Amino acid sequence: MLGLTVSHYRVTGKLGTGGMGIVYEADDIRLPRKVALKFLPDELADDADAVRRFAREAATIALISHPHICTIYEVDTHDGRQFIAMERIDGANLKTYMAREEMDTSRIIDVAMQITGALAAAHAKGIVHRDIKPGNVMVSGDGHVKVLDFGLARQFKMPGTNETGLEGSTIPGRPLGTANYMAPERILQLPLDPRCDLFSLGVIIYEMATSRLPFAGASPGDTVTNVLDREPVPLTDLAPHCPAALGHLVERLLAKRAADRYQTAEHLADALGKIRVPPATMATRLLRRLMPGR
């Protein structure tokens, strides 16, 4: 599609491909800005379930306005294929960022707080993301975090209301998403609420701190077994430089039962804010800011 004009966008490059879409970089020829255009992969263009999820993603994000959630500009059609035009975020996804950046405790907490803020905004609208993972989190050059890809999002019943919310499209017997980041109730396809997103964020924090996944197995089946039945190696055993409070926080987030986790993103944000960063870590971070080349 390089060089093609899609609606009032001129495609200038390809940003990435995933199971839920292909994303291109484009110039808006009406406004001086770069955008990202997301299309369904060719093999899913005629899949009714995938088309419903794609349309629901735009409808879901349109409900939320938050600085840590990717902004949707519009939904349109090109040659019979629906696409979503969204803000272009300069940076890398968190998976890539973790691979090339050494993350100290203060940076881990900073990123976790930003994701938590995005989740709090989504949950306040009755939306559970269901696919929180590093590939769906972008980190800009100045460290600003954006959560994207609400293609698997579902709306849950808010306490005290009878709203039915968005219709689901998950195929019975096959939960959609990435098993390494799925809460046990996601794998078992039990009724969902925001606490499954908090479990996924716990996996991300563990990975940022240790460079390892807490439940990774030799096969997808082993991973599922680990998520459902086994406890991970304690975070501080693998990352002794991290404070014990961070280890305790992650342990609670990764609890098998949702009732044993933090119950809301606001509660999690409060707990993250109370973790004391070791003075040596803060000094090192300040030195890096003052002398980025060292």
Q: Where are the domains of the chain?
A: 5-87, 91-283
The larger pLDDT score, comparing residue 69 to residue 161, is at: 69
pLDDT over 80 at 163, yes or no: no
Could you check whether 5-87 and 91-283 share the same CATH topology? Answer: no
| Residue tagged active-site, from 104, 131, 193, 197 | 131
* Interval 61-70: pLDDT, tens: 888 889 999 9
Predicted local confidence at residue 282, as pLDDT: 54
> Using one digit for the tens of pLDDT, what is the confidence trace for 88-139?
988 899 999 999 988 999 999 999 999 999 999 999 999 999 999 999 999 9
In this prediction, residues 23-44 reach a mean pLDDT of 90
Respond yes or no: is residue 131 known to be catalytic.
Answer: yes
pLDDT at 30: 93
Q: Which stretch of 90-99, 153-162, 169-178 has the lowest confidence by average pLDDT? A: 169-178
Is a pLDDT exceeding 80 seen at residue 258?
Answer: yes
Distance between CA 205 and CA 291 in Å, rounded? 27
Specify the pLDDT at position 56. 79
With cut-offs at 50, 70 and 90, classify the pLDDT of residue 85: very high
What CATH class is the domain 5-87? Answer: alpha beta
Which residues lie below 8 Å from residue 58, measured CB to CB, with a gap of 6+? 72, 75, 84
Q: Which class is domain 91-283?
A: mainly alpha
